[in-house]
Amino acid sequence: MIAADNLPETTRDGDFDLLVYLQARQKLCEAALSQSVPQQYPETIYESMRYSLLAGGKRLRPILCLASCEMMGGTMEMAMPTACALEMIHTMSLIHDDLPAMDNDDYRRGKLTNHKVYGEDIAILAGDGLLAYAFEYIAAQTENVPAPQVLQVIAQLGKAVGAAGLVGGQVVDLESEGKSDISLETLDFIHKHKTGALLEACVVCGGILAGATPENLQRLSAYAQNIGLAFQIIDDILDITATQEQLGKTVGKDQQAQKVTYPSLWGIEESQKQAQQLIETACAQLEPFGAKAQPLLALAHFIVNRDR
């Protein structure tokens, strides 16, 4: 039996209340994000950066980073600058992904896309501004973490967003457009890089900031790789089953573009099973952490059961 004061603060009567936890963390992240990029001169670029950064979203990436840091014995304060930086990078990837040269989308997070409001030139620069600022923000704002750990976080994140991560995944995705013979191996490559790499960085960076051992970082990495792929499988399913109101963006785009996706290869039911299996594999990695793993376990289940 675990003492009540060792359980996460949002636990009531021994049960972890994910909804309460998510709402509280989302609120904290919103406030920290708004503070991180103040409105200033030149007005247009900051307005454009803030428009997308503060447009809502589940804030899953910063929440994963905070939860991982806390599970490994660190504090939310140690991880908040990195958590904000992760959301800045995620947001910049959405801004660039929505551009006419990429996915050409008009809606994101229930609002017009950045380039629809500010034009393509400013949208590109807003993405660039957020990307550069994310790294500056970690380096300048992280407190009470030894410098080598901060450096390790910056290196980890650089790898996750560059050609070895998001950028590489996006390139293979673009090259696969219009091809109906994409293999499962290529599909996995795209999503492990385009979606998985940043989710993995969130969890691993949280651990690094808390001073986790290499063995525990390995566990965090394995957990994150599995939730990353499950996240994308569910994303593909929601593109078929959800509405524009639910997702805040145009739906059915994959089918329209005849894109190879997990449900197009396996069907919806089998895709759901595969996602569930990945979540179970992810959660098994957290067994040694006992009750302290409750938030990350609940977040993994949220990923497969979400409807947006």
Residues near ligand GRG, by CB under 6 A: 57-58, 60, 90, 93-94, 96-97, 102, 109, 131, 161, 166-167, 170, 194-195, 235
- Please say which residue, 75 or 116, places its beta carbon nearer to ligand GRG: 116
Residue 69 CB, shortest distance to ligand GRG, in Å, is 19
Residue 161 CB, shortest distance to ligand GRG, in Å, is 4
Residue 116 CB, shortest distance to ligand GRG, in Å, is 16
- Please say which residue, 22 or 145, places its beta carbon nearer to ligand GRG: 22
φ/ψ (deg, to 5) at 178: 80, 0
- Please say which residue, 212 or 239, places its beta carbon nearer to ligand GRG: 239
Both structure tokens of 301: 């289940």
Residue 155 CB, shortest distance to ligand GRG, in Å, is 16
Q: What separation, in Å, do the N-terminal and C-terminal C-alpha atoms of the chain show?
A: 36
Residue 68 CB, shortest distance to ligand GRG, in Å, is 16
Residue with the CB atom nearest ligand GRG in the bound state: 57
Query: Cα angle at 133 between 132 and 139, to 5 degrees?
Result: 105
- Please say which residue, 75 or 109, places its beta carbon nearer to ligand GRG: 109
> Which secondary-structure segment (H or E) carries 29?
helix 18-36
Buried (b) or exposed (e) across 118-148, using 16+ Cβ within 10 A? beeebbbbbbebbbebbbebbeeebeebeee
- Rounded CA-CA distance 120/17 in Å is 42
Packing angle of the helix pair 214-241, 197-209 (nearest 10 deg): 150
- Please say which residue, 194 or 259, places its beta carbon nearer to ligand GRG: 194
- Rounded CA-CA distance 80/76 in Å is 6
- Please say which residue, 200 or 235, places its beta carbon nearer to ligand GRG: 235
Return the biggest CA–CA distance within the chain: 58
- Please say which residue, 11 or 156, places its beta carbon nearer to ligand GRG: 156
Residue 4 CB, shortest distance to ligand GRG, in Å, is 33
- Rounded CA-CA distance 267/209 in Å is 40
Residue 87 CB, shortest distance to ligand GRG, in Å, is 8
Residue 288 CB, shortest distance to ligand GRG, in Å, is 28
Packing angle of the helix pair 76-97, 197-209 (nearest 10 deg): 160
What are the beta bridge partners of residue 221? none
- Please say which residue, 60 or 304, places its beta carbon nearer to ligand GRG: 60
Q: List the alpha helices (DSSP H) in 98-146.
A: 114-118, 120-141
